Structure 1
Amino acid sequence: MERNLNSLLKWSIENTVPSQAPAANGANGTNGTNGTTAVTTHSSDTTTPTTPAATAATTPSQTNGTTSAAAASSKLNPEIISALFGGPSEAELMRAAMEVLTDETATPDNRLIAFDNLEQLIESLDNANNLEPLGLWAPLLGLLAHGEADMRRMAAWCVGTAVQNNARTQERLLAEGGVPILVALATREGEDVAVRRKAIFALSSAVRNCQPAMDAAAAELSAHGKGDKVDAGDMDAVDGVIEWLRGKVNGAVAA
């Protein structure tokens, strides 16, 4: 919301019309009685007074340019409008999305739309961090075991987005027991290929620069012959594990 308030402040400043104090009587050729500026034009030997109305005409291009500039500076994005008129916050939108996702009466299309909305929201670091205080980690990880492959795939995608380059959410995923679930999805024979690939993406995001998560993944992978100690800060070593997992998926597809 702080970002929206800053944008709102900027918009208000841009659209504030500065006050103009009236010129002093008689200054700059102003008539002292009615404040009218006398503008004269000279011909050979006559002087014709011209009123401001006659000199105030502007060309269409000038008018259009001014209008366009005003229109451009008055634009507000939907988030700012929501802030102005009491619309839902991003935290409320995250809760609403999860309500749809956990509603067994919701249509598959609506659930996938809710997942897409949630994934876009948690691309923001602040929103990803809010998964914990909002109590959304448990239901999100629960969706990794959903009966529909598309739901498992989208859940893995959201997890991967939430923990990418984010030490706080990496730690939270580990604390919630999410690493073993992701390893199980990534290595499960007969699992939908798209689900396995998104689970690998989530694992890749979860273990990089997070040694406890890397150790937890290695412990789970030991049953598959890949339990060697890996330095979570060594990107080449981490890539080796991830590529090994992808190779298992590609081999299953080829078979």
Structure 2
Amino acid sequence: MDKNLSNLLKWSIEAQTAAQAGQSHSNGNTPASIEGPAPGSGAVATSPAPEVTAPGPRPIDPEVLASLFGGPSEAELMKAAIEVITDPSPEVTLENRLIAFDNFEQLIENLDNANLLEKLSLWTPLLNVLEHEEEEMRFFAAWCVGTAVQNNEKTQERLLAMGGVPKLVKLAMEEGETEKVRRKATYALSSAVRNYQPAMDVAAEEMHKRGHEVLVSSGNKKVDAADMDKVDEVIEWLRAKANSS
């Protein structure tokens, strides 16, 4: 990643972290002021306790701003976010990874940006995070997948081609997985299969392998991906299973 872009991203993360700390401080952590003694009481007056403010982000290097005059492209920001998310360095905290994930999810709400995932080779690293050891990382990865494929046949096709549907089914039905993650994987599956029959067929097959026989109706007919009532039945079953985990 370009050094200046990396510095800008780090500055952005620090700014968000400081803002969150400041908000928490203003919500009740500011020391109350101390009133002076009553006249004639003989007590020594005390000054109000100084208000502690959250430290702001370090000043950004003017050279960075100069080189990025006009701002980095959204494609560059997407790549930078994924680099932070997948960086194996212990110096990158979980908090910073989740901030990068939040930024990434907001970027791919845009249909054009979601379609860039393939061109930027971001599907593989994103789907790999579905198997991350940290619950929050799996949660955000499933969330981003669901956002990327919602009402978008092009990204639904890429998710299926990259092997993402079986991973989501596994995450949604895995014994021992947290309810939070299973529900978000179910959301991603809901976005992946609606109006896209190939993904619905694979999801049905994977769920059948894991013991959910309801998907196979009489005569071995497929669940119609365009029949929202039938798709809702599948998704509601997964949600109920997640709630019972």
Shorter-chain TM-score tier: 0.5 to 0.7
Instruction: Name the counterpart of 1:136.
Output: 122
Match of residue 241, structure 1, among 227, 234, 237: 234
For structure 1, the residue ranges without an aligned partner over 5 or more in a row are 1-80
Alpha-carbon displacement from aligned partner over 1:221-255 (angstroms, at most 9, x marks no partner): 11222342200000000000000011111222xxx
Instruction: Name the counterpart of 2:97.
Output: 111
Q: Structure 1 CA distance, aligned partners of 2:178 and 2:80?
A: 28
Q: Structure 1 CA distance, aligned partners of 2:139 and 2:244?
A: 19
Q: Structure 1 CA distance, aligned partners of 2:77 and 2:242?
A: 35
1:104: Cα distance to partner?
Answer: 1.9
Runs of 4+ in 1 over 3 A off after TM superposition: none
Of residues 225-234 and 103-112 in structure 1, the stretch that sits farther from structure 2 once superposed is 225-234
Instruction: Name the counterpart of 1:225.
Output: 212
Q: Structure 2 CA distance, aligned partners of 1:154 and 1:236?
A: 27
1:182 aligns with 2:184: no
For structure 2, the residue ranges without an aligned partner over 5 or more in a row are 1-64, 217-221
Give TM-score, length-normalised by structure 1: 0.65
Structure 2 counterpart of 1:231, one-letter code: D
Q: Structure 1 CA distance, aligned partners of 2:243 and 2:187?
A: 14
Alpha-carbon displacement from aligned partner over 1:9-34 (angstroms, at most 9, x marks no partner): xxxxxxxxxxxxxxxxxxxxxxxxxx
1:86: Cα distance to partner?
Answer: 3.8
Structure 1 counterpart of 2:155, one-letter code: T
Alpha-carbon displacement from aligned partner over 1:189-215 (angstroms, at most 9, x marks no partner): 110111101000000000000000000
Match of residue 69, structure 2, among 85, 93, 107: 85
Higher relative contact order (CA 8 A, sep 6+): 2
Structure 2 counterpart of 1:251, one-letter code: S
- How many residues are aligned here? 172
Q: Structure 2 CA distance, aligned partners of 1:201 and 1:188?
A: 15
Structure 1 counterpart of 2:154, one-letter code: R
How big is the alpha-carbon RMSD for the aligned residues of Structure 1 and Structure 2?
1.7
Q: Structure 2 CA distance, aligned partners of 1:103 and 1:143?
A: 11
Give TM-score, length-normalised by structure 2: 0.68
1:213 aligns with 2:206: no
State the identity as a percent: 68
Instruction: Name the counterpart of 1:20.
Output: none
Instruction: Name the counterpart of 2:26.
Output: none
Q: Structure 2 CA distance, aligned partners of 1:215 and 1:233?
A: 12
Structure 1 counterpart of 2:233, one-letter code: G
Alpha-carbon displacement from aligned partner over 1:148-174 (angstroms, at most 9, x marks no partner): 010000000000000000000000000
Structure 2 counterpart of 1:175, one-letter code: A
1:85: Cα distance to partner?
Answer: 2.4
